[in-house]
Structure formats: C-alpha cells, structure tokens
C-alpha cells in the first residue's frame, strides 16, 4: 500500500485547521491523493449538522472523507463551506493509499498502539453526544479537538456478556443486546459505583484485545453521528432501549 505525506490531526487536515475554506483544503488533498468526489447534501442534516451547506468530499483510494459546512448556527449561516470534520475508514474497495494520523496511527493499527500514541484516549467514554452509548468507540479530546476510533471487528457485546455471566448474571452470551443484558449490565454498574466505562469493561475482562485493529478514525464536532434509527425496532444499548433519530 502506498504511503502518503498527508497527515490527519484532531483539529484538521495537513496544515489546515477546521474552519479552513473548502476549495483550499480540497485542492491540497487532491494534490496528494488525486481527484476526489464531491457530494452536495444541502438542506439535509446528513452527514453533518449545522447550517444549510453540507458538502462532503471522498477519496476512495484512501478511505478518506472530509465534511464541510457553515461556521454559523442554523440562524446565522454564511453560505461559505469550511472544513468541519473528517473520517478515515475501511473502504468498500481496497485502499491503495495509506493516510494516517501524525502519530502514525491509521486503519489497522492495534488498540494497544492507539492507546500509547493518543494522549487521553478512553474506551466508551462516560459522556453523551456523538460518542455516547456506542462501546466500540474510543475517544479523546473535546469539541473541535475531539477524535474517535472504532474497532468494529471487536465483539464487545459477547465480551461483556461473558464478564457478566462470570459475575453471576443469568444471561446467555449470544452477542445480542436486549433487555436481559442491559438489566444485568446496569446491576453491575450499580454494584460498582464511581467507575468509568473503561474501568467497568476492564473489571469485566471485556476490553478489546491489545491487537484489535482500528477500523475507523474520525475527528471534528459537527458530524451527524447517530449510530442507528429505531424505526419499528427498538435500538438497544447496554444502558437500555434507545431511539437515536
């Protein structure tokens, strides 16, 4: 796989911070990765929240997507798209260009390596918003400096269920979230107050294996991250039934 001199940061892409003009940023990335595809999502809050301008640019060879929107809120839109976030992921087609963080972390890097390279990285943080209630995330930073990693090949549900069973819960380790697993997890939380989610997972023996590979990295605070929609079927997390519309 071809390496790339372009690096990603919690606060931007290459030498450009979040808030940089779209045309300037795309020109830089095009010069490094070749021409990307630009998609206009105007008037729909997908995939980024904010004003009426919602544009993404995607470079399939690297699995890199950039999001652009107004800097203003809904009632103060400027109409000028600027860099708002980025995400790097395993692509539908084979990646031929390897884009990474300045620290060297990229797609396929291990959980252990990511924890060593990214200061403050915490699994399944104890806060709501875009990283709440999705345990295969690890995140660090706040606001526009927030960065998140996903480990989607890690079966966190079965790992937690096995830990709960070892703790005495009468559930089945079937890898499916539902009322029984949620109730057992909440009972475990109540029995061990004051712990972070990462500490609870550690106590359950349910942390990702050290060699679990990163499958996605994201940064920025303007993306529309909701993990699922309920529809006619409830969306279950370890915390209970939820609907993330």
Per the structure, the count of domains in the chain is 2
Name the strand (E) or helix (H) holding 48. none
Is residue 234 pLDDT above 80, yes or no?
Answer: no
Same domain as 184, residue 73: no
Same domain as 188, residue 99: no
Q: Tens digit of pLDDT for each residue in 190-221?
A: 999 999 888 999 999 998 888 889 998 988 86
Is residue 130 pLDDT above 50, yes or no?
Answer: no
**pLDDT at site 220:** 81
Q: Burial letters for 169-189: b for 16+ Cβ neighbours within 10 Å, e otherwise?
A: bebebeeebeebbbebbeebe
Q: The whole model's pTM is what?
A: 0.81
Same domain as 198, residue 111: no
Helix ranges, 143-178 (H): 156-166
Same domain as 125, residue 81: yes
Same domain as 218, residue 190: no
Joined tokens for residue 208: 């990702």
How far is residue 14's CA from residue 28's CA, in Å, rounded to a whole number?
8
**pLDDT at site 224:** 44
Same domain as 99, residue 10: yes
Q: Tens digit of pLDDT for each residue in 49-79?
A: 555 557 889 999 999 999 887 765 545 556 6
**pLDDT mean across residues, the chain:** 81
CB 78 within 8 A of CB 18: no
The CATH number of whichever domain residue 217 belongs to comes to 2.60.460
Is residue 125 pLDDT above 80, yes or no?
Answer: no
In which band, very low, low, confident or very high, does the pLDDT at 154 lie, cut at 50, 70 and 90? confident
Same domain as 50, residue 124: yes
Same domain as 198, residue 214: no
Same domain as 163, residue 141: no
Same domain as 62, residue 124: yes
Joined tokens for residue 22: 């779209």
Is residue 227 pLDDT above 50, yes or no?
Answer: no
Same domain as 129, residue 103: yes
Same domain as 69, residue 34: yes
Closest listed residue to residue 221, CA positions, set 138, 121, 148, 134: 148
- Structural domain that includes position 191: 156-203
């Amino acid at each position: 796989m071809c390496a790339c001199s372009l690096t990603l940061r919690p606060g931007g892409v290459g030498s450009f911070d979040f808030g940089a003009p779209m045309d300037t940023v795309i020109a830089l990335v095009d010069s490094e990765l070749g021409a990307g595809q630009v998609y206009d999502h105007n008037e729909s809050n997908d995939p980024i929240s904010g004003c009426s301008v919602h544009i993404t640019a995607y470079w399939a060879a690297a699995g890199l997507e950039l999001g652009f929107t107004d800097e203003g809120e809904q009632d103060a839109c400027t109409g000028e798209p600027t860099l708002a976030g980025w995400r790097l992921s395993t692509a539908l087609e084979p990646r031929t260009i390897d884009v990474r963080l300045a620290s060297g972390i990229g797609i396929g890097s291990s959980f252990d390596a990511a924890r060593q390279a990214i200061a403050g990285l915490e699994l399944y943080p104890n806060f709501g918003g875009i990283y709440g209630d999705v345990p295969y995330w690890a995140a660090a930073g706040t606001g526009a400096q927030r960065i998140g990693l996903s480990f989607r090949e890690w079966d966190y549900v079965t790992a937690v269920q096995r830990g709960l069973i070892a703790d005495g819960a009468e559930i089945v380790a079937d890898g499916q979230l539902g009322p029984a697993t949620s109730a057992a997890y909440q009972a475990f939380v109540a029995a061990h107050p004051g712990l972070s989610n990462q500490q609870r997972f550690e106590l359950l023996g349910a942390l990702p294996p050290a060699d679990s590979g990163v499958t996605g990295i994201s940064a920025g605070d303007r993306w529309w991250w909701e993990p699922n929609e309920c529809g006619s079927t409830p969306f279950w997390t370890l915390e209970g039934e939820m609907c993330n519309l």
